[in-house]
Structure 1
């Protein structure tokens, strides 16, 4: 769990870190946060300014709360346009020298108001608050987000068209993938899998599970690292939900497991496939809220070009053991600690802090209400007349989000309304575009 420090404690932490950074040859530190359109924004300081930045923060304009994927802006009830300022405060517990960007280190940032209170629109603070609510119930969550990407040459042509999951693709880019593996490992991450994926030029990496806020941080660090390694190999990277119209897209699958006193509640219980009652209720809460959660986890117009049946995207509101067409795939694993649930309907256009916080809030609501887990879907839901499609467009997801009192309360009015404003504005932005136009417009934005 991320610890909150006082300004004086942060300054002391920074002084200790600066000496090590100097010894490591680090000249500057990048502070990153993710906006409501899912874009990572950054500011940086010289290493010698780290203490001041840690104690007082670095200025950041609040208008990025209402920025869209094309860098235009909308408005929301709490937005102040060009007026005002926030403070970016780095979390030095996650300070990481960047293996593929020599001389630079990175840290995720929380956003504070000028008077030192957490900014109500800070998505990372929201994820932390919901995580603390989980812990207050004597529970904990382990999470991880898969990272899929398409690597392409300077002209935008996929770097390989070799067979999906094929050794040919791996051989063609073995030096590139080895450097990705080395860079992630050098940054202290435990890589579980690294392999070629289905679409042309597509690859995937997954890392070890950790706490919810930490998992969101790590997802961003992995994406930054893959992009930096790719640049060193003359490759461009796209995390967009769809790289080419009509193809399987880039997912951002969220894996979760619920724990109590060191025991995984997805294993060894009396319920279906070993689920404990608390795990069943938690997952039932997520399924109940899933249409609204898509506004957080599949937030782009392009998300719904990926979220279609028969593309392993999880387009149906159901769950099943190892069912890759269900939105919620249950994974028992080969050992007790590996049991988890995978949300397949999310993608990398999402702000990971928003999606994780929203999912935890929905799971807690399921626990509080004692919701029963619906019947399992053991086959391809596309072949079942009774299968329920998730929203098929961003406006449909927005409609579900607007009806969600649960998310309104969990996010708080300012963050809830700001997310809503951004989603509405992006739906309008692309309302007259063809699918091909949408793909082209956002291919390189994430």
Structure 2
């Protein structure tokens, strides 16, 4: 891909491109964007663009917040200054190779809008690099696929939507051969769009897939993860399928994880700073402080990795998601899973994270908490869990609701130190709004339980 503004302009002319697609990412991790003419795009590259502030003033259903300060009816929803990141250029292969770029609300030095998720991650990444660490991250996603269209879904009963394939067949070669056109189109389209996958397979549950995205620099990893979710949905539409990254589709089935893998490197020396061959478990002191930092900070930042009402219905015992503040070696029942088998692959997997997250915020949380542990030299005093992490209450449990978790984060001095007071105030207000919206809604569960009997 072209690397400079001059190269990009030359490419647009050589390829006779007439339009370009641009997008920013809102607080929920949703892409908000537009198509602009090639001429307009060239002027945007030179001087930036105005992007309506409403993208940080409403929820995922486009309903305006009444409790945030950054924008709203009180200031008339002005434009914020957005800047295209030319390093994010991709071609949308399934849309006639239209060029695509991400933008955010920060300048060349990374200074910008406090509530912008991509700007937040860039700031925390700069902190890591200033402290001598290059963070390499990746995210893996699980999601459900259903044989329906948006029109059919919204006109019927969502709970009765037909899964793409029946039965519980994790890692099934047989099941992946069903709807194989979708399966292979997704793998190939991701590769063509700059989202290389390490693997794609079925998970346990009807119509469930899991994909592991190739690791990279933390900012690139978050770009890939965010674009992956939209790519899946767009490719699914083309095959008569709807994909959902809800954390918990059904109380009868496992939820959807969005586990984040992370390590810190000295790239000049090509050294994984998490690995120590002399340690019994191959963990360096840096890694131990990093793990301890996440254990310490997790209660202060949980809404960043479990951001919706639905997130907490995934975090239940025996459903492949953690419920306790625990860590272990290669143990899928704990919140943090250490993998330290080799020099190149030693890493931490944060398993609390669900597929419903905003990847920029989830990766910001993981990295900031780990750096906090290193910075404060927090010792990893809690022993690794041996056996069932659901039964290990030695360090406490994970909050059981978004309301509880948000209340803790809102008052947390740790959260404000890690993410800034302005961001914490805005983000917690959006989560309080989410709780209010749910509390005011009469659900199907209530109708079925109370309509006839009460």
Match of 1:13 in 2: 4
Match of 1:5 in 2: none
1:215 to 212, 221, 225: 221
Match of 1:186 in 2: 192
Give the whole-Å Cα distance in 2 for the aligned partners of 1:28 and 1:306. 41
The more displaced of 128-137 and 380-389 is 380-389
Tell whether the 8 Å contact from 2:259 to 2:351 is kept in structure 1 after alignment: yes
Change (3 A) 1:246 1:33: farther
Match of 2:45 in 1: 54
- Asked if 1:423 corresponds to 2:428, the answer is no
TM-score normalized with structure 2 length: 0.87
- Post-superposition shift, 1:295? 1.0
Match of 1:4 in 2: none
**CA distances 1:24-48 after superposition (whole Å, capped 9, x unpaired):** 5654322222222332222221233
Tell whether the 8 Å contact from 1:29 to 1:44 is kept in structure 2 after alignment: yes
Change (3 A) 1:247 1:370: same
Match of 1:277 in 2: 285
- Post-superposition shift, 1:383? 3.0
Match of 1:161 in 2: 166
Max radius of gyration: which structure? 2
Give the whole-Å Cα distance in 1 for the aligned partners of 2:43 and 2:444. 47
1:367 to 361, 370, 374: 374
- Asked if 1:86 corresponds to 2:77, the answer is no
1:126 to 120, 133, 147: 120
User: Greater relative contact order (Cα 8 A, min sep 6): structure 1 or 2?
Assistant: 1
Give the whole-Å Cα distance in 2 for the aligned partners of 1:340 and 1:230. 32
Match of 2:34 in 1: 43
Match of 1:300 in 2: 308
| Residue aligned with 2:34, SS | strand
Tell whether the 8 Å contact from 2:137 to 2:216 is kept in structure 1 after alignment: yes
Change (3 A) 1:167 1:265: same
| Residue aligned with 1:370, SS | coil
Residues 6-405 of structure 1: pairs in structure 2 closer than 5 A: 13-21=4-12, 23=14, 26-74=17-65, 75-81=67-73, 82-112=76-106, 118-154=112-148, 155=152, 156-165=161-170, 166-260=172-266, 261-333=269-341, 335-373=342-380, 374-384=382-392, 386=394, 388-405=396-413
Give the whole-Å Cα distance in 2 for the aligned partners of 1:262 and 1:432. 53
- Aligned pair count? 425
Give the whole-Å Cα distance in 2 for the aligned partners of 1:117 and 1:284. 29
Tell whether the 8 Å contact from 2:48 to 2:82 is kept in structure 1 after alignment: yes
**CA distances 1:322-359 after superposition (whole Å, capped 9, x unpaired):** 111111111124x3211111111112322211221222
Tell whether the 8 Å contact from 1:89 to 1:112 is kept in structure 2 after alignment: yes
Change (3 A) 1:68 1:327: same
Gaps of 5+ in 2: 153-160, 447-454
Match of 1:441 in 2: none
- Post-superposition shift, 1:405? 1.4
Tell whether the 8 Å contact from 1:216 to 1:353 is kept in structure 2 after alignment: yes
Give the whole-Å Cα distance in 1 for the aligned partners of 2:124 and 2:437. 32
Tell whether the 8 Å contact from 1:257 to 1:265 is kept in structure 2 after alignment: yes
**CA distances 1:221-268 after superposition (whole Å, capped 9, x unpaired):** 222222222111111111111222332122211110122342112323
Tell whether the 8 Å contact from 2:64 to 2:72 is kept in structure 1 after alignment: no
**RMSD in angstroms over aligned alpha carbons?**
2.4
Tell whether the 8 Å contact from 2:226 to 2:358 is kept in structure 1 after alignment: no
Give the whole-Å Cα distance in 2 for the aligned partners of 1:218 and 1:345. 20
Give the whole-Å Cα distance in 2 for the aligned partners of 1:252 and 1:389. 20
- Post-superposition shift, 1:206? 1.2
Give the whole-Å Cα distance in 2 for the aligned partners of 1:272 and 1:392. 35
**CA distances 1:253-297 after superposition (whole Å, capped 9, x unpaired):** 111012234211232344452110011101110110112221111
| Residue aligned with 1:337, SS | coil
Give the whole-Å Cα distance in 2 for the aligned partners of 1:437 and 1:36. 29
Tell whether the 8 Å contact from 1:293 to 1:359 is kept in structure 2 after alignment: no
Give the whole-Å Cα distance in 2 for the aligned partners of 1:437 and 1:291. 30
The more displaced of 64-73 and 134-143 is 64-73
Gaps of 5+ in 1: 1-9, 439-446
